[in-house]
Amino acid sequence: EADSFEIEAADFLGVKYAHMVSSGTSALVCALTAIGAGPGDEVIVPGYTYIADPAAVIAVGAVPVIAEIDESLGLDPSDVERKITPYTKAIIPVHMQGVVSRMDDLMRVAREHGLKVVEDCSQYVGGDYKGRKAGTYGDVGTWSLQFSKTITAGEGGLVFTDDLDI
């Protein structure tokens, strides 16, 4: 069933690759590892999120840096830009309560500073943003399939991307 779900999820999302893992937290750890985040790196996370986001950053040996949120309930692009240091490796926009972060602005900031983007879509599984699925704007997206989520497998997570290396 996992193989079938990966194929169907990738097709639904319009991405080349999807891989099921044990949880949404594991999906975040896999995504951060895949983009090369580790000791000595900083990863910017929103101040309003679930503990899995900063915990995944810590799990790979990096340091979570807390940024403010805006009216989208997601990362404030202006505050993200203020928090960038030479050690910043990535940002994790978290799409909270079915509302997508301001991805156009966040992607602009990330690209201008050479940062990777890991989208946490655990609270917006399958949602759209300007005609594309949430989680497909950044380098890699993640879902949680925990029992209280929109699509549930009881427990589990999904990592998805178009990048074969990831």
The CA distance from 71 to 75, in Å, is 9
- Give me the helix-helix angle, 52-59 and 24-34, nearest 10°: 40
> Using an 8 Å Cβ cutoff, are 13 and 143 in contact?
no
Closest CA relative to residue 74, chosen from 107, 41, 42: 107
The CA distance from 105 to 163, in Å, is 22
Given 83, 116, 133, 149, the catalytic residue:
149
Q: Is 35 left (phi over 0), alpha (psi -120 to 50) or beta?
A: alpha
Closest CA relative to residue 119, chosen from 140, 98, 97, 96: 140
Active site residue 83: no
Burial category of 156 from C-beta neighbours within 10 Å (exposed 0-12, middle 13-18, buried 19 and up): buried
Task: Give the active site residues.
Answer: 149
